[in-house]
Amino acid sequence: MISDTPLPRVDWIATQRKWLGSDRSAAFATVLLLAIALPCLLAPVFAPYDPSAQPDIIGLRSIAPSLLHPFGTDQSSRDILSRVIYGGRLSLTVAIVATLVSVTIGTVYGAVAGFLDGVGGTLLQRILDALLSIPRLLLLIAIFAAWNNAPLPVFILALGLTGWYGLARLVRGQVLALKAQDFVQSARALGATRSRILTRHILPNVVSQVVVAATLGIGHVIVLEAGLSYLGIGVHPPDASWGNIIQEGSDQIAAHWWISFFPGIAIVLTVMAFNVIGDALLRALQPRKSVIE
């Protein structure tokens, strides 16, 4: 009959203890992420200056990192540290909200596509195949080339709406496998409706994969947002985001390296932290794999 191996149960506390306790890289990445994200999310408390203030456009113009301005200033005398902190708040917010949008859509779509039998499920899968064949970056560039100066919520929504296909496919595969399990059949035999089986018996068993995908997805969206802002679409000045600070410093990188350097480091460290945490979660949630390691 069907395999009698129970699926790994997700015990979040034990999982956390496991990877924080035994996985040094994950513990380090978590601390690093907190060290970056906390000041960003509490930007007004941590930033030493107003990120848009131009106190002395002649005297404080493009000065190298010093005690007063640890990350230096740009050509308009704005403090880079404050801009990186405020930019981080925006970049992280964009990434998290966009990922929430894509995870929600991807999970729902994948679950329905996997759960429906017959023509409905096949149709949804074919639509997904078609969407997966559109390159995300080119689509986004095309959208914002057509819609100049799109407001920020539209930008976030566009990132979210183009980022759910991979997760939908992952969830669909999981749901297909779970649907054939005996506990789903026994739930039917208890008289449970299809929506109840889906929400109560299938989705809870998919949660762990979704959390991993979301963690890795946030890192991906940070890079994407930075890339788009660098290209001048996405977050527009005077709003600071990591991408557009890099862009502002890019034409003078030889003379005033610090303008682009510090937001660049922030992106690298943040994305790396998200990826390490995502991988560690994946390992912790697949007990059989980690035994082998």
Residues that bind another protein (CB under 8 A): 1-10, 117-118, 181-183, 185-193, 196, 200-201, 204-205
- Closest CB 14 distance from another protein, rounded Å: 12
Residue type, 144: F
Beta-carbon contacts of residue 104 (< 8 Å; ≥ 6 apart): none
- Closest CB 186 distance from another protein, rounded Å: 4
For another protein, the closer of residues 189 and 254 by Cβ is 189
- Closest CB 193 distance from another protein, rounded Å: 6
For another protein, the closer of residues 27 and 187 by Cβ is 187
Residue type, 209: Q
Q: Of 260, 270, 247, 233, which Cα lies nearest the Cα of 159? A: 233
Could you give phi then psi for residue 73, rounded to 5 degrees? -130, 165
- Closest CB 179 distance from another protein, rounded Å: 10
For the chain, where are the E strands, in sequence order? none
For another protein, the closer of residues 59 and 191 by Cβ is 191
Q: d(Cα 144, Cα 197) in Å, to the nearest integer?
A: 41
For another protein, the closer of residues 11 and 129 by Cβ is 11
Beta-carbon contacts of residue 12 (< 8 Å; ≥ 6 apart): none
For another protein, the closer of residues 30 and 205 by Cβ is 205
- Closest CB 17 distance from another protein, rounded Å: 17
Q: What is the DSSP letter of 234?
A: S
